Amino acid sequence: MRALHFIAWLPLASAFNSYRSTLTDCLNAGSVPILLTSSPGWSQEIAPYNLRFTPAPTVRTAVKCANKANVKATVKGGGHSYGAFGLAGTMVIDMMEFQNVTLDAATGIASVGAGLRLGNMATKLFQLGQRGLPHGTCPGVGIGGHATLGGFGLDSRLWGLTLDTVVALDVVLANGTAATVTATQHGDLFWALRGAGPGFAVITQFHMKTFPAPSVNINWSHSWSFSSASAAAAAFLAAQNWGQQNAPKELGYGIVVGPAGGFTLRGVYYGAKSDYEAIIAPLLALMKSVTGGAQPSSSVQVLGWIDSLTALAGSSLSTPVQGYDLHDTFYAKSIDTKESATLSITALQGLFKYLFTTTPPGGAQWFILANLYGGPGSVINSFPPSTDPSSTSCYANRDGGYVWQFYAFTGNSQPPFNPAIITFVKNMVGSLGAEAAGLPAYAPYADPQFTQTEAQVRYWGAGVPRLKAIKSQVDPKGILYNPQGF
């Protein structure tokens, strides 16, 4: 997906003028590199108070200075937050310099710097030992938010979410002290960081389980167009239900709806082409039946691991450490359906009727993405619920079916942003009717229209009371800040 372009969530400089001297003096005394509004390059950084670090001790000094000046700090990793939440604090801690990747060949555990972007991480892991781990398809996304809020890839039903691979984290706590956090060391904080990470600690390094990268990967897609909303809804229902009931965990499976009057089934099969063909044949036969014999536009590619990731990205996996310039001007919402309840034909008819009859405002473009999280053998759903005493993650959607994203952006991806786009997207979700009302949402697709209370309930559900209690223990002054977190 794309990074946010507009910056409506930045605080005014005047909000921290009274603390500037204390904060700046403290940072300078600790030899912390700082960037102020008067500094060259400020406009490129777009941050109210931006820090650059190399060693973790510098992060400790910076957090201690935030405590001394009593200012809020946020952490900027990849800068890909849908709500620009990495820029929400008076002081922004930029993790750009944390780019290390090492691999323990004996254990398969990778140590990954918190400033890495996914594409660079994936490339390095493969170079070090032909290893991989589950993650999203956009190479510019930062590992920091990805591995602490969720982290879905088409391989996640096979391997789990990105956060499920995290076995330890090196962090700086809100009081400026360093700690290593595991399931047995600071277990409550480990639970919170794996699902609601931003705001609980500054993570400097992840330690993550890796997997042998499959040598054969089948990147596949099949697309249909429809002349009516009812036909599209009936076909979508069949595809949705087939995935949830029949897709093996080796089959990454998603449905992409676009403005051309149809949708695309697409994913990756992690195995031999002959096995893929045997698995997909019943789906294609079903779709042929429900579409009246329509032939899809299809693509099936047999690729190596890196080539498969590159094809999914639609671009090079390599991204610059500094000067990343992929932007968008957009609004998005999400819902998480349950494994026990796919959306009905009534809900889908409402959605496609809206899509077939509504013109996006001001030339806006849009897409809807429904990724299968559940289904037979899904590793995502194999973990206990966040409220289970044995759980080591506060990720709340362990009984998920599909995670939906509704996304609309300006025609050229540039400002100005027409506020009517927000209404357009909200009405997409609303067109599904009562079945979609109040469903959980997916924190990595942050919805800045949520209040803090609504965001907490929609993202973390029954885990909210425990998260609040942990926050009060590890950051009683509220130094580490996330607008929709704790």
pLDDT < 70 positions in the chain: 1-21, 34-55, 78-89, 323-325
C-beta atoms surrounding 344 within 10 Å:
14
Ranges assigned E (strand) in 289-399 = 297-303, 330-338, 365-372
pLDDT at 85: 62
- C-alpha dist (Å) from residue 111 to 22, 164, 188: 35, 15, 22
Nearest to 164 by CA among 139, 134, 136: 134
Torsion of CA 161, 167, 168, 173, to 10 degrees: 50
Contact 27, 62 (CB under 8 A): yes
Q: What residue has token string 């195995």?
A: 271
Q: How far apart are CA 404 and CA 334, in angstroms?
A: 5
Q: How far apart are CA 425 and CA 408, in angstroms?
A: 7
pLDDT at 37: 54
Instruction: Count CA atoms within 13 Å of residue 171 on its CB side.
Output: 28
In the chain the first and final C-alpha atoms are separated, in Å, by 26
- 437: which 2 tokens? 């009302």
Contact 187, 390 (CB under 8 A): no
Q: Where are the alpha helices (DSSP H) in 75-186?
A: 118-129, 143-149, 156-159
Contact 86, 486 (CB under 8 A): no
Contact 317, 139 (CB under 8 A): yes
Omega within 30 of 0 (cis) for the link into 198:
no
The domains found in the chain, sorted by start residue, are 101-213 (3.30.465.10)
pLDDT at 69: 86
Helical axes 464-474 vs 187-196, angle rounded to 10°: 120
pLDDT at 75: 87
Element of type H or E holding 51? strand 50-52
Q: Cα-atom radius of gyration of the chain, to the nearest Å?
A: 22
What is the pTM assigned to this prediction? 0.89
- 18: which 2 tokens? 């009274």
Q: How many residues does the chain have?
A: 486
pLDDT at 42: 46
- C-alpha dist (Å) from residue 243 to 158, 348, 438: 14, 16, 24
pLDDT at 40: 61
Nearest to 207 by CA among 179, 166, 238: 166
Omega within 30 of 0 (cis) for the link into 476:
no
Residue-wise pLDDT for 71-121, tens only, equals: 888 888 866 566 656 555 578 888 888 999 999 999 999 999 999 999 999
Contact 276, 269 (CB under 8 A): yes
Q: How far apart are CA 234 and CA 50, in angstroms?
A: 51
